Amino acid sequence: MKTNLLNFINKSIPFSFYALFFLVPFLMYPKTFELFEFNKMWFVFAMTIVIFFLWTTKIVLLGKLQIRRTPLDIPILLFVASQIIATIFSLDPYVSFWGYYSRFNGGLLSTLAYIFLYYAFASNMISNAEGERKIASFKLLFISLLAGFIVALWGFPSHFGYDPTCFVFRGTFDVSCWTEQFQPKVRIFSTLGQPNWLAAYLGVLLPLSIGFGIVSIRQQIKKRLQSKEEKYSFIAEVFSWKSCFYFLAILLFYLGLIFARSQSAFIGVFVGMQVFLTLLFVFTTGTHKFNLKNILRDTYFKYIFIVNLIFLTITFFLGTPIEILNKYATYNGLRTFISQPNISKQVPQKEMQIGGPALEGGGTDSGEIRLHVWAGALKIFAANPLFGTGVETFAYAYYKVKPTSHNLTSEWDYLYNKAHNEYLNYAATTGLFGLGTYLLFIGWFLAGVIYDLKKRKTHDMTYFPISLALIGGFVSILLSNFFGFSVVVINLFLFFIPLFFYELEFPSKLMRTATFSFRKNEKIENAKKLKNQQLTIREYISILCIGLLALYFEFLLITYWVADQKYALGYNLDRVGDYAAAYQPLTDAVKLRPEEAVFKDELSINLATLSVLLAQQKQIEQAQQVAGQAIALSDEVTRKHPNNVVYFKSRTRVFYALSQINPEYLNDAQEAIARASELAPTDAKITYNVALLYNQQGNAEKSIFYLKKTLELRPIYEDAWYALAVIYDELRKKTIDTQLSATYKNEAIQALEVVLKMYPNHEAAITLLKKLTTN
């Protein structure tokens, strides 16, 4: 009985890990608020619970807990400690525990899940037996390559306007399911959800596909030598059916990288590939004694030469995401450079730029925007140097220190939930302790790898190219994360690559285990002794309790997932103005997940709007009741999350809407926006709304003051300029002082001229200016 159950568990755990690494890259669902990352993270949580149940059941059966020791135990435990401490002292502990809503990857819970999976894999899938020790990692990596191959194949036709995702979601084999700002014809993203995320994922797999290809060639050579065939065929060895698959994978991965047009991932892949090939050259050329003639005859070298020739050919005709390289290294760049004269000297660059319209129309360069966000991250770190502001709280902490220069970019009113630099993000949100332990984990692994490789005199080529490819993929992640941030699938590789490497190359480092026995006065039983034993009552009860606990956690996940879909539906209905239809799904979301403030925040806005609609229909009593519900929800949300500027913005909307029923609510709106302004002192949109509220209360003087403050923060804010003109025009109409009236008129005209200089087709500004100049 026990043996059968143990055998089932020992088969189920590997299957769970295979399913995890294979399915995570594909998971997406159109009805959730966030289509991609949310579903991937939820599947990781679900599989973590499954593996937790299987492992703990195994512990009960064996009467002992065995945790395999790894070389990274110390930095991992320190890193986990840093995340826990940062969560405890967080400006929003709920967000720090769960993670930023809709993504969740990066929260304390996700980190604990990754670390648990790390030790579950090490303790259950890495065998002590010499002949079996390398099977688990090799299989899992091959499954990852297979998954990546399908992901790349899935995304490839979208570059040409035929997206399989749209076919699955909408039934149309085109790209009509995506917005103009989110077009795979420009930058593909396949099932990963964002071009940078896809490119980072392919950046891990690209060196691996080469490593697997080299191993495949080695197997062909070994087969020829064992059969004592004298005839040597380079074609037969390099282009076997296995090698052809890896060649095709390499081709698809690189095309996907080019079509994703991610500069950060491209740089990461380039550096990672150089690290991989350099290590391969250094540690495998000992037999050649650095003889160039012998190296050129080597089959591995010929294979790598062909692969690099493929890269160069694709790059030459399709270009790279980095424009400066395209100018001299691609066909179109060279043709343009040769055929067209250099006009930069004829027209000065400053004269070619037009402030506002050029900024808004073309969009600010992503590199420039990153510099503003990084500057803010450094300010957060300087203010919270030890433990940061809390795990995953960057979205709210950044508002406090947002550089005013960010207001001059095309993404001036975007909410940045990450620093777009993994290291600065850790520095800002978890302080020196968090960043230090994260870097310790990375440095400990890389430094140990180089030391161990140099110390070892000979290298078994069975899996060695794959092991070195893992290092290249790891470096690729580190570089792409410097200009971005990790997502679910990348974090899986980040934590598991060290384990894969150790199992393939230095299994002796994974042979130690920490054992904790739960049976007193009994010798620890092994599997053979359990063959004829039945489960005891205590074991039955223990397994039942573990199973019920696992089912409860799975139920919570499913409930949360369903609630998210209700929220997504209500949110979207609110955005199209169908507030009555949005009420029920938002209410359902809150009932399913009452702890989630995001749901209550949206419901409070919905209720405030419904209250106004009821009042307009003369249903005063119902309107007041609904208004009370909206206020109560807003009170609860802002009380529990006093440092979240987003909720105070929503609270302002709630009271501003209710002021249409009772003007006294304008005072509450003013208090809410004042708190929002404290949390985000450089947010131009907040100061603009402060100005509008004062104008609504009839205080034109303060309204003008805050509009001018808004324009100090964002001089190209056309709405603020136009509002300033309107207020001056209203003052002009009310004043009886002729000289003052003329002053107001001139101020209004000047403001309108600024608007029209930036936006010549601004109809309202044209009409008002015409009215002022003709009177």
Sign of CA dihedral 640, 646, 649, 651: negative
Phi, psi of 705 (to 5 degrees): -60, -45
How does pLDDT run across 596-637, given as a tens digit for each residue?
A: 999 999 999 999 999 999 999 999 999 999 999 999 999 999
Instruction: Give me the mean pLDDT over the 632-653 stretch.
Output: 96
Helix (H, G, I), strand (E, B) or coil at 487: coil
Whether residue 517 has pLDDT greater than 70 = yes
Indicate the SS3 state at residue 517. strand
Per-residue pLDDT averaged across 250-274, rounded?
93
Mean pLDDT of 396-417: 92
| C-alpha to C-alpha distance for 581 and 754, rounded to whole angstroms | 42
Task: Kindly report, residue by residue over 686-720, the tens digit of the pLDDT.
Answer: 999 999 999 999 999 999 999 999 999 999 999 99
Confidence check: pLDDT of 340 > 70 = no
pLDDT score, position 360: 34
Comparing C-alpha atoms, which of 418, 424, 342, 444 is closest to residue 382? 424
* DSSP, res 404: G
Q: Where are the beta strands (DSSP E) in 195-344?
A: none
Q: What is the pLDDT of residue 513?
A: 86
The CATH classification number of 596-682 equals 1.25.40
Contacts of 624 (CB under 8 A, 6+ apart): 611, 661
pLDDT computed for residue 347 by the predictor: 40
Do the beta carbons of residue 260 and residue 196 sit within 8 Å?
yes
Alpha carbon distance 656, 678 (integer Å): 19
Query: Does pLDDT of 399 surpass 90?
Result: yes
**CB 374 within 8 Å of CB 424:** yes
Distance spanning both ends of the chain, measured CA to CA: 97
C-beta atoms surrounding 299 within 10 Å: 16
- Residue that wins the pLDDT comparison between 135 and 590: 590
Taking phi over 0 as left and psi of -120 to 50 as alpha, with beta for the rest, 535 belongs to beta
For residue 513, list its beta bridge partners: 68
Q: What's the confidence (pLDDT) of residue 362?
A: 47
CB distance 641 to 92 below 8 Å: yes
Q: What pLDDT, on a 0 to 100 scale, did the predictor assign at position 83? A: 97
Q: How many CA atoms lie within 13 A of 139 on its CB side?
A: 15
Q: At what angle do helices 135-155 and 195-226 cross, to 10 degrees?
A: 130
pLDDT of residue 103: 86
Digit-coded pLDDT (tens) for 660-678: 999 999 999 999 999 999 9
- Every domain of the chain and the residues it spans: 70-340+418-511, 596-682, 697-775
Which of 158-172, 235-249, 284-298, 659-673 shows the lowest mean pLDDT across its residues?
Answer: 284-298
In 417-512, which ranges are E strands? Answer: none
Radius of gyration of the chain (CA): 31
Confidence band (pLDDT; 50, 70, 90) for 756?
Answer: very high
What's the pLDDT score for residue 669? 96
The pLDDT, as a whole number, for residue 102 is 87
When pLDDT is cut at 50, 70 and 90, the band that residue 205 belongs to is: very high
The mean pLDDT value for 238-243 works out to 68
Question: Percent of the chain beyond pLDDT 70?
Answer: 89
Question: Would you say residue 679 has pLDDT above 70?
Answer: yes
pLDDT for residue 535: 84
Is pLDDT of 361 > 50? no
Instruction: Please say if the pLDDT value at position 77 is more than 50.
Output: yes
pLDDT, position 234: 56
CA–CA dist 440, 76 (Å, integer)? 9
3-class DSSP state for residue 65?
strand
Q: Do domains 596-682 and 697-775 have the same CATH topology?
A: yes
Highest mean pLDDT among 159-168, 302-311, 425-434: 425-434
d(CA 767, CA 751): 13
The pLDDT of residue 285: 65
Whether the pLDDT of residue 232 is over 60: the answer is: no
List the single range of 361-370, 462-471, 571-580, 762-771 with lowest mean pLDDT: 361-370
pLDDT score for 352: 30
Out of 28-32, 151-155, 225-229, pick the least confident: 225-229
The DSSP annotation for 234-297 comes to HHHHHSSHHHHHHHHHHHHHHHHHHHHT-HHHHHHHHHHHHHHHHHHHHHH-TTTTT-HHHHHH
Q: Is 643 a residue whose pLDDT tops 50?
A: yes
For residue 480, pLDDT beyond 70: yes
DSSP code of 104? -
In this model, does residue 354 exceed pLDDT 70? no
* Predicted local confidence at residue 289, as pLDDT: 47
- Options 3.40.50.2300, 3.30.420.40, 3.30.230.10, 1.25.40.10; CATH for 697-775 is 1.25.40.10
pLDDT of res. 122: 94
- From 336-345, 418-427, 605-614, 620-629, the region with the lowest mean pLDDT: 336-345
Neighbours of 83 (CB within 10 A): 29
Q: Reply yes or no on whether the pLDDT at 108 is more than 50.
A: yes
CA distances from 190 to 197, 352, 600 (A): 10, 37, 33
Residue 447's Cβ-count burial label (10 Å; 0-12, 13-18, 19+) is exposed
* CA distance linking residue 362 with residue 351, whole number of Å: 17
pLDDT at position 227: 62
Mean pLDDT of 23-27: 96
Answer whether residue 73 shows pLDDT above 60: yes
Give the DSSP letter of residue 405: G
Q: Which residues contact 774 (CB under 8 A, 6 or more apart)?
A: none
Beta bridge partners of 516: 65
Question: Tens digit of pLDDT for each residue in 175-201?
Answer: 988 987 788 999 999 999 999 999 999
List b or e across 745-763, with b for residues whose CB sees 16 or more CB atoms inside 10 angstroms.
bebbbebbebbbbbbeebe
| Residue burial 679-695, b: 16+ Cβ < 10 Å; e: rest | bbebbbbbbbbbbbbbb
- Tell me which residue of 510, 491, 492 sits closest to 502, measured CA to CA: 510
What is the band of 226 on the pLDDT scale with cuts at 50, 70, 90?
A: low
d(CA 258, CA 316): 11
CB of 250 closer than 8 Å to CB of 308: no
* pLDDT in the model for residue 345: 43
Judged against a pLDDT cut of 60, whether residue 261 lies above it is answered with yes
Decide if pLDDT at 165 tops 50.
yes
482 membership: H or E segment, kind and range: helix 464-482
Question: Which comes out higher in pLDDT, residue 665 or 280?
Answer: 665
Q: Looking at the predicted structure, is the pLDDT value of residue 139 above 60?
A: yes
For the chain, the residue count is 775
Quick check: helix, strand or coil at residue 540? helix
